[in-house]
Amino acid sequence: MNVTFCCSQCGKTTRCDLDEGTLDVACRHCSERVVIPTGAVHKGQVNRCLVCPSDELFVRKDFSQRWGVGFILFGFVVSGVALAMRRHMVAFEILGVTAIIDAILYWYTGNVLTCYRCHSEYRDLETMEQHPRFDLEVHERFRQQAARLKQAQESSE
Ligand SMILES: [Zn+2]
Ligand SMILES: [Zn+2]
């Protein structure tokens, strides 16, 4: 499996391979080491985030929403051109085909395990089934926590 996280030292995003026996992972840019908490990785599963180390993680599709929306928009633009040329059937076909391709791409993309708190991402796990899907309430709780923390830091400076 591998983890993608934002390095606390240099602020860059880095990616590391790891398995159950891995004790720490190092940033590719500045070599800052992150020690993996014991028991965090067990039997091919991630029980808690290796970086922050929160145990609230969620599974989502590894699908770039921006890319998906961009693709649909592209379909709209092209079909708009077809409409302007009074090719109504072609316009509908283009819209239909882009929607279908989008759905197929979405269906075939794998899952990624994400940490609510630090947004680290875990891929190529044996199983992610024990983790819940995205929960807006939990997300909101972490977002507000982060906002309060930032506020407190700013006012103490
Ligand atoms: Zn770094
Ligand atoms: Zn985390």
Task: Give tens-digit pLDDT for 17-65.
Answer: 998 889 999 999 999 999 999 889 988 889 999 999 899 999 999 988 7
Q: Where are the beta strands (DSSP E) in 11-120?
A: 13-17, 24-26, 33-35, 41-42, 45-46, 57-61, 111-115
Distance 129 CA to ligand 2 centre (A): 18
Mean of per-residue pLDDT scores for the chain: 92
Dist. CA 14 → ligand 1 center (Å): 7
- Given a contact cutoff of 8 angstroms between Cβ atoms, the answer to whether 116 and 139 are in contact is yes
For residue range 110-119, list pLDDT tens digits in order.
Answer: 899 999 999 9
Q: Which ligand is nearest to the Cα of residue 122, counting in written order? A: 2
Q: How far is the CA of 56 from the centre of ligand 2 (A)?
A: 8
Q: Percent of the chain beyond pLDDT 70?
A: 100
Strands (E), the chain: 2-6, 13-17, 24-26, 33-35, 41-42, 45-46, 57-61, 111-115, 121-123
Q: What is the pLDDT of residue 10?
A: 96
User: How far, in Å, is the centroid of ligand 1 from the Cα of 35?
Assistant: 14
Q: Which of 65, 48, 44 is nearest to 56 (CA)?
A: 48
- What pLDDT was estimated at residue 43? 84
Find the 15 Cα to ligand 1 centroid distance in Å. 10
Structure tokens that stand for 9 in this block: 């030292």
Long-range pairs of 67-73 with CB within 8 A, sequence gap ≥ 24: 68/102, 68/105, 68/106, 71/98, 71/101, 71/102, 71/105, 72/98, 72/99, 72/102
Residue 157 has pLDDT above 80, yes or no: no
| Euclidean distance between the first and the last CA atom of the chain, given in angstroms as a whole number | 40
The pLDDT of residue 60 is 92
| Residue % of the chain over a pLDDT of 90 | 73
Q: What distance in Å separates the CA atoms of residue 35 and residue 28, rounded to the nearest whole number?
A: 15
- For 63-115, write each residue's pLDDT tens digit: 887 888 898 899 999 999 999 999 999 999 999 999 999 899 888 888 999 99
Ligand 2 centre distance from Cα of residue 155 (Å): 25
With bands split at pLDDT 50, 70 and 90, how would you rate the model's confidence at 137? very high
